Amino acid sequence: MARPTEHAKKQELARAAVDVLRREGIDLSMAALADALGIKRPTLLYHFPTKAHLVELALVDLLMEQAEHVIAKVDKHTHPLDRLYAHLRAVHGFHAGHEERVVFLTQAIAATAGARLPEILAAGAMVFEANRQDMVARLRQGIRDGIVAECNPEALFACVRALVDGLLVQRVMNKAPLKASHELVWEHWLKPLKLREAP
């Protein structure tokens, strides 16, 4: 069996460190964190000079896991609007099983990021950029093929992305169920743009 790569080891260390920080608190010192992980402090600092670096990798790791989940759900559909709707539901479905981790990483970013915030946000955005470009390109092609009504694909995707994020916040803040919101988006927003099924 192949040995894990250096990056895979670093990801594993970041996941374990985040679990410790969730349990012990974000203010835990790097020395105490290293002890809890069973490694030496210089080893931890070699991989993660600050907690912000650690949180950044843990966030990107979570977003990559989310991207794989979402792509698998979206790829079951061929029509661009069905794919967009599947994207909305799949992101929310993924987060339903990872809510504690998401909330903790969000809090950890706020507490540790400091000057690294732009890099952390850029790393998160990078994970989704290829997906955004693909969705927009498929919507444009759908308009050309006559299966999607005339619209602004960039704006449509941006609005759905805003709904993805906004509804997640609603659920975290007040445990709001999302099924009715999903149905409303489909029935009154996306379905009316669907002129016919994909060939």
Give the Cβ contact number of residue 178 at 10 Å. Answer: 19
Q: Is domain 1-49 classified as CATH 1.10.10?
A: yes
Query: Between 120 and 85, where is the model more confident?
Result: 85
Q: Per-residue confidence at 1, pLDDT binned at 50, 70, 90?
A: very low
- Which amino acid appears at position 100 of this protein? E
Which pLDDT score, from 0 to 100, does residue 115 have? 62
* Mean pLDDT, the chain, whole residue set: 88
The domain spans of the chain are 1-49, 59-193
Q: Per-residue confidence at 2, pLDDT binned at 50, 70, 90?
A: very low
- pTM equals 0.80
pLDDT above 70 (res 117): no
3-state DSSP: the chain helix, strand, coil percent, rounded to 5? 80, 0, 20
Instruction: State how far the Cα of 170 lies from the Cα of 177, in Å rounded to an integer.
Output: 9
**For 92-115, how does the pLDDT look when each residue is reduced to its tens digit (9 = 90+)?**
999 887 777 877 887 787 777 666
- Which amino acid appears at position 124 of this protein? G
Contact 83, 74 (CB under 8 A): yes
Instruction: State how far the Cα of 143 lies from the Cα of 137, in Å rounded to an integer.
Output: 10
Q: Per-residue confidence at 116, pLDDT binned at 50, 70, 90?
A: low
The two structure tokens encoding residue 60? 């990107």
Least confident of 36-45, 75-84, 89-98, 123-132: 123-132
84 HSE (CA, 13 A, CB side):
32
Which pLDDT score, from 0 to 100, does residue 174 have? 80
**For 132-188, how does the pLDDT look when each residue is reduced to its tens digit (9 = 90+)?**
999 999 999 999 999 999 999 999 999 999 999 888 888 877 887 899 999 999 999
CATH of 59-193, one of 2.70.98, 1.10.357, 1.10.10, 1.10.3470: 1.10.357
DSSP state of 114: G
Instruction: State how far the Cα of 23 lies from the Cα of 10, in Å rounded to an integer.
Output: 20
pLDDT above 60 (res 3): no
Q: Per-residue confidence at 65, pLDDT binned at 50, 70, 90?
A: confident
